[in-house]
Amino acid sequence: MPLSPYLNATPLLGDRIFLHPSCQVIGDVKIGDDSSVWCNTVLRGDVNRIVIGRGTNLQDLTMCHVSHKSSSRPEGSPLLIGDYVTVGHSVIVHGCTIGNECLIGMGSIVMDDVVIPDHVMIGAGSLVSPGKVLESGMLYMGRPAKAVRALTKEEIAYLRYSAEQYMLVKDNYLNGSKSQTESFPHGHP
């Protein structure tokens, strides 16, 4: 298993989780039921905690880290990711809070103390600057990321759909199946 303790903290895993053998989950990390951590992804909960919700997927090469606690910042910057979140390939999420049913596009960077509420899509390659608080129901893009427009009803529904599709894929891996139950009709997120 790709699990490592750090000091007195050991990762805690919910039920039906898939951890690819190449990922690393270190220290004070809690992962909710039906979530998945894919190839070469790192969750390093050494100087603060990482909490991943239910049905969330952290795709290949994602880096998850935190900022330490100090006298001026007693809580530091933990990493808190909600339920049914899709975190695309090669994303960096560092000491931020991400709500439920969000999609963080491939190659994006989300920095310390960012707050992303429920139902937000971050376009591929975006940079969300430290401390930025986003608005629910919006598409953000760019470096630095800016609100582009409101998400459509269909796009908001897709946020949950994307996470559920990854749940099917992780179940296939857990069951030893080489075929996917369903395919992505809109392409890979």
The C-alpha angle 33, 156, 20, rounded to 5 degrees, equals 35
Question: What are the tens digits of pLDDT across the range 76-133?
Answer: 999 999 999 999 999 999 999 999 999 999 999 999 999 999 999 999 999 999 999 9
CA angle 32-174-121, nearest 5°?
A: 50
- Per-residue pLDDT of 164-187, as tens digits, reads 999 999 999 999 965 444 444 444
> Alpha-carbon torsion 36, 90, 83, 79, what sign?
positive
CA distance 185 to 165: 10
Is 2.160.10.10 the CATH number for 3-175? yes
Q: Is the CB of residue 56 less than 8 Å from the CB of residue 38? A: no
Tell me how crowded residue 104 is: count the other CB atoms within 10 A of its CB: 31
CB 58 within 8 A of CB 82: no
Model confidence at 1, in pLDDT bands (50, 70, 90)? low
Instruction: Report CA-CA distances (Å) from 14 to 26, 48, 56, 107, 168.
Output: 15, 20, 12, 27, 17
- Please state the domain extents for the chain: 3-175
Q: Is the peptide bond before 144 cis (omega within 30 degrees of 0)?
A: yes
